[in-house]
Structure 1
């Protein structure tokens, strides 16, 4: 309509007010979010002490100093990956407050034309928060060179999208495996208390707990976070305190493990077995990706505060205490955690451990919701229902369909694998794969966007890259022992994402190429053969500019037009609430007493009045709306147009939405027919339909069928 409203202002300036900047947030709000994040983000990495030493020394401890070698590995791994890489580097690479693999891809797409997804057109950019930038004149030549190489290479663009889908699929796979291994490990502690608890009973009890966990997701991150955070804080306090107790009681000399020499000695003594054992050590950093994937639910400072102030110190103390205990009790390594607990604290720790394990599952579940939302907005995932569970924090979402699928998958994996050993093998592959992909994207961002000094980039690759590739080689060694599971998940998810994204892009460009020109629209409107009936019709489209082909198809088959036509462009923006006259934000209520049509008609009338007076240069545009309200705008042209709109509204409002059927074009090959005619249409029939997504009143909705040959 050629006006500036809150949508334009918020979308244009979103970077400065988003969750990523937090400049306007009070310290108290950040501290509240830091507390909430304890119950969402750190449950996974916080419960790793349950199984790290037992998973590392699967064949027992051959040499007492091997404990120091493994402790040294754990210490430097925790320091390099979660603390240095993620807390101080990766979190800076968020995209408007969102994290995860798709956020990194989206960030790259904003600084270079590397995306295959059609979200970089001029009009699209005006109503979204995309902001293409070229390297500044002071930028390094390598940034410009890399940008040019990526933009001019179709292979690079396809590879980036492929890597993004792979990373996203692995994170979702992580969201399936985390609940399984965490709950099974904690509930397994019952076997130490009574012989009546068998492995099968542990499995069924774990399944019951998992089902309950997924049932509470609908209450939202805000409520779940406040409920879970105190438990995790108590958990960290207890494992840290017990760690100090064991450290003093058994062997304070484990402090020697800070010397990396013990890592070298460990590999020298054990050679291949030491390399294989890295698959157990890497479990100490499971859940690290949740800090980045869940940043949209919180803020960067809140996660940095909670990690540095409580999580990291508590974990280091816990592992040092367990190492001290093992130095004097090497035969008890298969159940290190529960055996190292002082007798009077056993049952309290068991209860807290089970609760913490349940909460551990929350980190990747919330992260999965976030990345599905991102992939959906980029056209890489079938339509699902996004429920925004907080009016204060736009990143906190819940997706019912995904929650149900995750629950079924978790139950199936728990019932099928039954032991933490095999699940741990699968878990390690998912975790390290995502970390390695994140590092690859981060190197591109360092060079092309941040323009980091080349020595720092090389240092990052040599240190962090080497560590992650070493761990990746180790976990892949156990591919046939359960490690295939996350790759199988990834293959299924990537197939779905590729099919949907490929046809989505084809449809978008088809509509773009087939859109109707303004001249053609005027010709149709003035055609005397068309019958005009009273009423107001709204045509929905995802095109930001132009008349969608559905209108041309409609007119060609139904030579009848309503007296007033409104073309509605659908574009999602991260705005929770807007002014009442400009609704709707995602947290605004919709109801039949004050429907969207009423607001639209009022805005149309004001628009007509304003446009007339500004064209006559009689009053400033800001005063034109007041003239209409006061009844002063009694010019014949204005009155006639407004009467036309009012009569059309009284006659009835209809929502016309395209029900597009896509088929492969006649010249297409067999792959196109399989992709479009079968795979895509199967997915489309089984996902949420557009009428429900756009919340269109069912009684006034008319679907117009049209066949797209792609």
Structure 2
């Protein structure tokens, strides 16, 4: 029980450190050639425990190496208290910043009996879900009224990020089968969905269980209405974003992980310093690292050293 308590206590403190030291979206959007920061070809997968905000290890990465990838994805792998998570509910995807920035957030949920994918299938599946989300997002913006867009943009400015959408594997006419808009933190539950015929059908359901949230399910189905100039421009931007994603995948993927060292802050009690500086760090050194658990090939791995003072 002492080992379990030390591990749990230090893990919670690490998460709180990440939560209080994350950087703002404005900082990310300000990075550019004017600051000597370049965008390089490829996909950069930044693994983090945060479900919102920009992690501190990414800011450390950009500070030491003033460049990051053309497609940037903040990936959070979560284990949820259900045995299995259906593939259609595994990926929650959203944008980080405007579409032109090509930055996304993806929360991948696994049940405690799910078998994690190897890195090749994971990368392929992640890119496929990103492509589905891009189609869904453009399709949603096409069917959103200007007033709703203004309201959504104002909401996005206040929350700094757009809502996450669950992207499934079922598709209709090239668009994702459905998207679930999350108004709060993602729930650790598994829910089945029924099929509807009309895009106007919106199902409100309340998930039962701890951490359940109200979910609005919108089924996206293409229509054959005549395209206006605005729609034509939108389709061109959609194709351009999908082309950038495919080009980045061909250029290669880099996995950016944090290599952490935890220290007790000055003034801590002797018991806390023993537990953190010796107990937790000893356990961490003798446990599998994230790169081993995720089966990341060494040639694609970038580790960012971080010192956590808790």
> Which residue number corresponds to residue 37 of structure 2?
530
Q: Are 2:56 and 1:549 equivalent residues in the alignment?
A: yes
Indicate which of 594, 603, 606 corresponds to 2:132.
Answer: 606
Query: Which stretches in structure 2 are left out of the alignment for 5+ residues?
Result: 92-109, 145-174, 176-198, 200-218, 225-231
Q: Are 2:293 and 1:693 equivalent residues in the alignment?
A: yes
Q: Are 2:131 and 1:623 equivalent residues in the alignment?
A: no
Question: Which whole-Å CA distance do the structure 1 matches of 2:253 and 2:223 have between them?
Answer: 24
> Which residue number corresponds to residue 635 of structure 1?
235
What pairs with 1:1-80 in structure 2 (closer than 5 Å)?
Answer: none
> Which residue number corresponds to residue 262 of structure 2?
662
> Which residue number corresponds to residue 136 of structure 1?
none
SS for the counterpart of 1:623 is: coil
More helix by share: 1
Deviations 1:437-474 (A, max 9, x none): xxxxxxxxxxxxxxxxxxxxxxxxxxxxxxxxxxxxxx
Question: Which whole-Å CA distance do the structure 2 matches of 1:499 and 1:654 have between them?
Answer: 32
Question: Which whole-Å CA distance do the structure 2 matches of 1:571 and 1:625 have between them?
Answer: 36
Do the aligned partners of residues 688 and 639 (structure 1) sit closer, same or farther apart at CA in structure 2, a change above 3 Å counting? same
Deviations 1:657-708 (A, max 9, x none): 1111111223434443322221211111112222223343444222211111
Deviations 1:302-352 (A, max 9, x none): xxxxxxxxxxxxxxxxxxxxxxxxxxxxxxxxxxxxxxxxxxxxxxxxxxx
Question: Which whole-Å CA distance do the structure 1 matches of 2:262 and 2:222 have between them?
Answer: 46
SS for the counterpart of 1:563 is: strand
Do the aligned partners of residues 625 and 582 (structure 1) sit closer, same or farther apart at CA in structure 2, a change above 3 Å counting? farther
C-alpha displacement at 1:528, in angstroms? Answer: 4.3
- Contact 1:606–1:625 (CA<8 Å) still a contact in 2? no
Question: Which whole-Å CA distance do the structure 1 matches of 2:90 and 2:233 have between them?
Answer: 23
C-alpha displacement at 1:638, in angstroms? Answer: 1.0
> Which residue number corresponds to residue 674 of structure 1?
274
Question: Which whole-Å CA distance do the structure 1 matches of 2:22 and 2:48 have between them?
Answer: 11
Deviations 1:410-460 (A, max 9, x none): xxxxxxxxxxxxxxxxxxxxxxxxxxxxxxxxxxxxxxxxxxxxxxxxxxx
C-alpha displacement at 1:589, in angstroms? Answer: 6.8
C-alpha displacement at 1:709, in angstroms? Answer: 1.4
> Which residue number corresponds to residue 87 of structure 2?
579
C-alpha displacement at 1:591, in angstroms? Answer: 4.5
SS for the counterpart of 1:635 is: helix
Question: Which whole-Å CA distance do the structure 2 matches of 1:698 and 1:607 have between them?
Answer: 29
SS for the counterpart of 2:275 is: helix
- Contact 1:609–1:625 (CA<8 Å) still a contact in 2? no
What pairs with 1:420-459 in structure 2 (closer than 5 Å)?
Answer: none
- Contact 1:609–1:633 (CA<8 Å) still a contact in 2? no
SS for the counterpart of 1:564 is: strand
> Which residue number corresponds to residue 65 of structure 2?
558
Do the aligned partners of residues 587 and 708 (structure 1) sit closer, same or farther apart at CA in structure 2, a change above 3 Å counting? closer
Deviations 1:541-571 (A, max 9, x none): 1222222211111111111111111001121
- Contact 1:544–1:570 (CA<8 Å) still a contact in 2? no
C-alpha displacement at 1:500, in angstroms? Answer: 1.4
Question: Which whole-Å CA distance do the structure 2 matches of 1:706 and 1:660 have between them?
Answer: 5
- Contact 1:535–1:564 (CA<8 Å) still a contact in 2? yes
SS for the counterpart of 1:696 is: coil
> Which residue number corresponds to residue 284 of structure 2?
684
Q: TM-score, normalised by structure 1?
A: 0.28
C-alpha displacement at 1:578, in angstroms? Answer: 2.5
SS for the counterpart of 2:78 is: coil
SS for the counterpart of 1:604 is: helix
C-alpha displacement at 1:624, in angstroms? Answer: 5.2
Query: Which stretches in structure 1 are left out of the alignment for 5+ residues?
Result: 1-493, 627-631
Deviations 1:69-109 (A, max 9, x none): xxxxxxxxxxxxxxxxxxxxxxxxxxxxxxxxxxxxxxxxx
Question: Which whole-Å CA distance do the structure 1 matches of 2:118 and 2:283 have between them?
Answer: 31
Larger radius of gyration: 1
Do the aligned partners of residues 680 and 622 (structure 1) sit closer, same or farther apart at CA in structure 2, a change above 3 Å counting? same
Indicate which of 117, 121, 138 corresponds to 1:590.
Answer: 117
> Which residue number corresponds to residue 307 of structure 2?
707
Question: Which whole-Å CA distance do the structure 2 matches of 1:608 and 1:557 have between them?
Answer: 31
> Which residue number corresponds to residue 539 of structure 1?
46
> Which residue number corresponds to residue 224 of structure 1?
none
Q: TM-score, normalised by structure 2?
A: 0.60
Do the aligned partners of residues 498 and 560 (structure 1) sit closer, same or farther apart at CA in structure 2, a change above 3 Å counting? same
What pairs with 1:270-669 in structure 2 (closer than 5 Å)?
Answer: 494-524=1-31, 528-573=35-80, 574-576=82-84, 578-579=86-87, 582=90, 586-588=113-115, 590-591=117-118, 595-617=121-143, 620=199, 622-623=220-221, 635-669=235-269
Do the aligned partners of residues 676 and 588 (structure 1) sit closer, same or farther apart at CA in structure 2, a change above 3 Å counting? closer
Do the aligned partners of residues 634 and 515 (structure 1) sit closer, same or farther apart at CA in structure 2, a change above 3 Å counting? closer
C-alpha displacement at 1:580, in angstroms? Answer: 7.3
- Cα RMSD, aligned residues only: 3.1
Question: Which whole-Å CA distance do the structure 1 matches of 2:88 and 2:143 have between them?
Answer: 29
What pairs with 1:147-226 in structure 2 (closer than 5 Å)?
Answer: none
Do the aligned partners of residues 638 and 662 (structure 1) sit closer, same or farther apart at CA in structure 2, a change above 3 Å counting? same
Question: Which whole-Å CA distance do the structure 1 matches of 2:223 and 2:274 have between them?
Answer: 55
SS for the counterpart of 2:308 is: strand
> Which residue number corresponds to residue 187 of structure 2?
none
| Number of residue pairs matched by the alignment | 212
